[in-house]
Structure 1
Amino acid sequence: MVIIYYKQVTSTMDIAHDYASKNFPHGTIILADIQTEGRGRLRRKWISPEGGLWFSIILYPSIYLKKKIDCLGILISVAVYKALDIFLKEKDILNFKWPNDLELNKKKVAGILLESIYENNEIKYIIAGVGINLFVEQSYFQKYDIDATSLKDLVLVEDKLIILKEIRNQILSHIADYPDNWDYVFQFYKSRFPYIGSNAVNRLNGKEVKIVDIDDNGSIILEEENKIKKYPWGGISLEIKRITY
């Protein structure tokens, strides 16, 4: 197991790309206590103060996943969920938010970002960035008016490395078991996605949509302007209209 640790970096994603370009092995972890330029989807800033678990992992997908790469986001989301669940005082209290967030009480507690590098029209490697508000003080989010929350009061262990190793093991195991595990993984994700039937805003065009379903290929189905549209994982960003809850 290779874990490369930094006290502070701009982004673990950027450093992971450097190591991947040097052919560091599948499952290599870049870990930092603080990110000064952490990023989420659509280049949005990911706030990464001390106390969080901020890391990126280098992945070389199997031939099966290269053909169905849209499934990778859900595989990793479920792996992170299952790992965290082991260390929480209360079980099965998290939920998923499309496409890449884990929530506690419908507030963001973790996010996943995937970046793929292609060579000769084929995926060379993927970097998965994972950010978890593990031990971040709740007052931090209140101070800066951030719509997020922390797992700090719910975690059973104090050592981030123990949790990180379990997350890594779960990610690699879920990827190695694909496609045989897909039906179980998909049903697990869907059963903990509470937003089917909810209204949302398509952040790409500002239009209001209704979340109709998630299909068994991992795509989300929306009703937009009286038309049914389908988007793959990561193909759209949604802002849930919380007023419906």
Structure 2
Amino acid sequence: MQSTRNKLIELLAKNQHEYISGQELSEQLQVSRSAVWKHMKQLEKDGYRIEGVSNKGYRILTFPQKISENTLQWGLDTKWIGKSIIHRQITSSTQDVAHQAAIDGAPHGTVIIADEQTSGKGRMQRQWFSAANKGIWMSILLRPQIPLQTSPQLTLLCGTVLAATFEKELNVRPFIKWPNDILINEKKVAGILTEMQAEQDRIQYVVVGIGINVNQEKKDFPEEIAQKASSLKMETGTSLDLHKMIQEILKRFEKMYDQYMQAGFAFVKALWEGFGFKIGKDIIVRTMNNERKTAFLGIAEDGALLVKNDQGEKEKLYAGEIEWFKKGGVMHAW
């Protein structure tokens, strides 16, 4: 159900070029005029600029740029995702907050988002550089009723959500580098980290962490990653509205997750392979025992990498170092 504050924002937005009286707001929201005034003050704290004129009423002058629970939920037309939002101006990692929220009983679809992370997490204990107010640092708490062994499919599903959103909203051609990186022009703009808690082959909850470089410029990246990282702004030449991007991602995630729960993984696999980086091309796979060049064929139903073995047959790979990039005659992995 839409909150009183969201209804208030909607009424003000619809009447943006004229005043709407306190009495009319009170009647439409079914709250006292005093309550309307208190909601106005809270909206101002969230960054809305509201003009109040005696005998005329109220109108919105500008909408906020800063992220908050209220600004994200206004206009978010979803059934279950983002109905509960936890916002932090600064935190160690949204993954940490999400795990604690899950333990405390937060519902399926809870979204945790931060303006800045001091210890953002990537795969294999790598740190994710999370600049303040420049990107989307977000975790989604899920409580899926799926077999434990299928949980890697959620990372692949999220990858297709991000790639499809970037393609539609920004008119760019993204690729997904297995299993969890989104590339544009062979530079990383986003990553996914999926963690879960399970007992006796039963998933208690899953936390899908999403990090997206949105409005950074090259000077914003540390020197050690500046050559292989990029941002949506750098790739499109345009500064982007964080609110709109977050909402588009959440709406698409909900739609695709619901379809996945009803229809299974086949459609996700097909979408993923449509964005798959280097599918049909050679990669180098290095394991403890050997190193070989092989064709990347796609992904398996369980999320494993499919390559061609020495006999020309499909082979699943679950582990090993993969080198994706060839520069100056040398393949590079990251």
TM-score by length of 2: 0.64
What stretches of structure 1 of length at least 5 have no aligned partner? none
**Compared with structure 1, are the counterparts of its residues 102 and 205 closer, same or farther at alpha carbon in structure 2 (3 Å cutoff)?**
farther
Deviation at 1:136, TM superposition (A): 1.3
Aligned partner (choices 125, 130, 139) of residue 205 of structure 2: 125
Paired residue secondary structure (2:106): coil
Deviation at 1:79, TM superposition (A): 1.2
Paired residue secondary structure (2:120): coil
**Larger-gyration structure (1/2):** 2
Aligned partner (choices 249, 274, 277) of residue 194 of structure 1: 277
| Contact in 2 for aligned 1:87/1:156 (Cα 8 Å) | no
**Compared with structure 1, are the counterparts of its residues 82 and 157 closer, same or farther at alpha carbon in structure 2 (3 Å cutoff)?**
farther
Deviation at 1:209, TM superposition (A): 4.7
Q: After TM superposition, list the pairs within 5 Å mapping 1:101-180 onto structure 2.
A: 101-141=181-221, 143-146=223-226, 147-153=228-234, 154=236, 158-178=240-260, 179-180=262-263
Deviation at 1:118, TM superposition (A): 0.7
What is the identity percentage for the equivalent residue pairs of Structure 1 and Structure 2? 30
> d(CA) in 1 for partners of 2:203 and 2:250?
21
| Contact in 2 for aligned 1:75/1:185 (Cα 8 Å) | yes
Cα deviation digits, residues 117-156 of structure 1 (max 9, x gap) = 0123311000000000111112223744431111014286
> d(CA) in 2 for partners of 1:192 and 1:40?
21
Q: After TM superposition, list the pairs within 5 Å mapping 1:1-245 onto structure 2.
A: 1-50=83-132, 51-63=134-146, 66=148, 68-88=150-170, 90-91=171-172, 93-141=173-221, 143-146=223-226, 147-153=228-234, 154=236, 158-178=240-260, 179-180=262-263, 182-196=265-279, 197-202=281-286, 207-217=291-301, 218-222=303-307, 229-232=315-318, 235=319, 238-243=322-327
| Contact in 2 for aligned 1:209/1:225 (Cα 8 Å) | no
Partner of 2:55: none
Look up the equivalent residue of 1:76 and give its one-letter code.
Answer: C
When the two chains are superposed, the root-mean-square deviation of aligned CA atoms in Å is 2.8
Q: Whose relative contact order is higher, 1 or 2, with alpha carbons under 8 Å and at least 6 apart?
A: 1
**Compared with structure 1, are the counterparts of its residues 215 and 84 closer, same or farther at alpha carbon in structure 2 (3 Å cutoff)?**
closer
Q: Count matched residues.
A: 240
> d(CA) in 2 for partners of 1:108 and 1:206?
28
| Contact in 1 for aligned 2:142/2:206 (Cα 8 Å) | yes
Deviation at 1:27, TM superposition (A): 1.2
**Compared with structure 1, are the counterparts of its residues 135 and 16 closer, same or farther at alpha carbon in structure 2 (3 Å cutoff)?**
same
TM-score by length of 1: 0.85
